[in-house]
Structure 1
């Protein structure tokens, strides 16, 4: 859901900032490329450091980079940055978001594989995929709902509308913060290193 909110928000924010369609699509495409590059890295790291560790990094990275993106966008909307500096900073925020946020999906998927048996693993992965699809659907719904409130209600003043484009991202930051608290305090580590698993089962290759 986090990235689908970005996909829908970026064109709206980019238009308010005066970006061309080509530049907006380039920013979105580059962010997707960062996901493609960094996802395998986080998957390997989760096999070494554990799922929870990588998931926490992904959540913290998403929250921090999204708040950075909103802050930079706000300064751009009030004319604080020149065009070139603004583009660079927006790109930087998106790269950080994609590079760190890419850790959430492989860590979560691996956690599902860890806690399911061979008999129900397919069902568990199917439910994981379905949850991702629901998030992909709800992201645009959230952005559209906020856009409707901005355009058709008196909840926000008309002058606030450009800044209101950032509200879905701020909402996602709050949701991710709640998820961060849950993962840190309540989610057990599902991954057991092979050496530890061997020791706990009484199997050790070094023993003669």
Structure 2
């Protein structure tokens, strides 16, 4: 019972943080237009967030192993709250950059620690379900957030950022008083994956390297698409903050439902690697097809289903890593965040440059990169547990 209570608290914390993040999505195009920021500028802002996460994730993952999961989570939430407050107050691009840097630092603290916390609380039998629920809670935050953000934007385009800051503080206080530091996992991974993670040479171990490479390439393609989702709709069809909120809320809702209902049985039947392969192809196809859509309802229809593939890739990769990491869960979570952030640095920058040339180019680029990721999984990736 205590385990379930702790898991629910973690899900709630993740929900509140990502609710705060998604509150601001519908108003970002308005902020960009207000400050005359180009597509490349949006890419650099996104990359600033990811670059910070990239630099600090390996260290925060190790810090979660050394100092405890709870304290790292609390610190991350406080930093997140301050970053959102700063973005809401910012009137120059320099202030927005500082805010995004702090936001990336918060992400580097929160995600590896929460993932490791959940792994510590679960077993091999229920871990996929727990991590799937974590991602579902994350996505449910995105479901509620854009709708609320669209409503708040009717009052002020800055109000969603202040509400996000308050949610960050609520999450931090909840974690301080209600979370209990878990007992660490000491389980041993499969013999073929036993490695010492005392230094970064572990990354070059084939079973880790291919997994991280797939995470990098798939995230690289996804980030080129996701970073310009709201701006693309704004520029192509003149979507209002409310329209953007509907598109993102609908997509997040369907993605969350797919995770809750289908993720665990699909993993049991097909395995994480096959789920990732199918999801990459599904996502690449829809990212390519959306560039040919001209009507409001056609784009809305694709927006409602396009995130299903993306939302299955993330928990599948996280679950796979948790199984092969043994007692180095903080390391695996940190490296997962590291390679995700590395892709999120390069993808938005290239996507932003392409966006300024032609609105559709980032999506063509994204589709090609996702196909490359699929080919890597087919040619090189094998599950050591099934060899």
TM over 0.5: yes
User: 2:253 corresponds to which residue?
Assistant: none
- Structure 2 CA distance, aligned partners of 1:191 and 1:6? 36
User: 2:34 corresponds to which residue?
Assistant: 16
- Structure 1 CA distance, aligned partners of 2:111 and 2:119? 12
Show CA shifts across 1:112-152 (max 9, x none): 111112321221111112112222333322222323xx1xx
User: 2:218 corresponds to which residue?
Assistant: none
**Does 1:168 find its partner at 2:160?**
yes
Q: How far did residue 191 of structure 1 move?
A: 4.5
Contact 1:52–1:183, Cα closer than 8 Å, also in 2:
yes
User: 2:46 corresponds to which residue?
Assistant: 28
**Does 1:68 find its partner at 2:86?**
yes
* Equivalent of 1:178 in 170, 173, 176: 170
**Does 1:98 find its partner at 2:116?**
no
User: 1:49 corresponds to which residue?
Assistant: 67
5+ residue gaps in structure 1? 77-85, 151-155, 157-163, 195-208
Contact 1:58–1:104, Cα closer than 8 Å, also in 2:
yes
* Equivalent of 2:139 in 133, 140, 144: 133
1:9–1:32 Cα change, 3 Å: farther
**Does 1:116 find its partner at 2:122?**
yes
Which has the bigger relative contact order, CA under 8 A and spacing at least 6? Answer: 1
Contact 1:50–1:192, Cα closer than 8 Å, also in 2:
no
- Structure 2 CA distance, aligned partners of 1:166 and 1:191? 42
1:142–1:39 Cα change, 3 Å: farther
- Structure 1 CA distance, aligned partners of 2:115 and 2:105? 17
5+ residue gaps in structure 2? 1-17, 187-387
1:62–1:139 Cα change, 3 Å: same
Q: TM-score, normalised by structure 1?
A: 0.71
Show CA shifts across 1:146-178 (max 9, x none): 23xx1xxxxx4xxxxxxx111111111111211
Show CA shifts across 1:17-56 (max 9, x none): 2323331232123323333443333222101111101101
Q: Calculate the aligned-residue CA RMSD, in Å.
A: 2.2
- Structure 2 CA distance, aligned partners of 1:142 and 1:60? 22
**Number of equivalent positions:** 168
- Structure 2 CA distance, aligned partners of 1:180 and 1:18? 34
Contact 1:47–1:191, Cα closer than 8 Å, also in 2:
no
1:5–1:40 Cα change, 3 Å: farther
Say which SS state the counterpart of residue 79 (structure 2) adopts.
helix
Show CA shifts across 1:34-82 (max 9, x none): 33443333222101111101101101101112212222x2xx2xxxxxx
- Structure 1 CA distance, aligned partners of 2:118 and 2:94? 37
1:173–1:141 Cα change, 3 Å: same
1:191–1:46 Cα change, 3 Å: farther
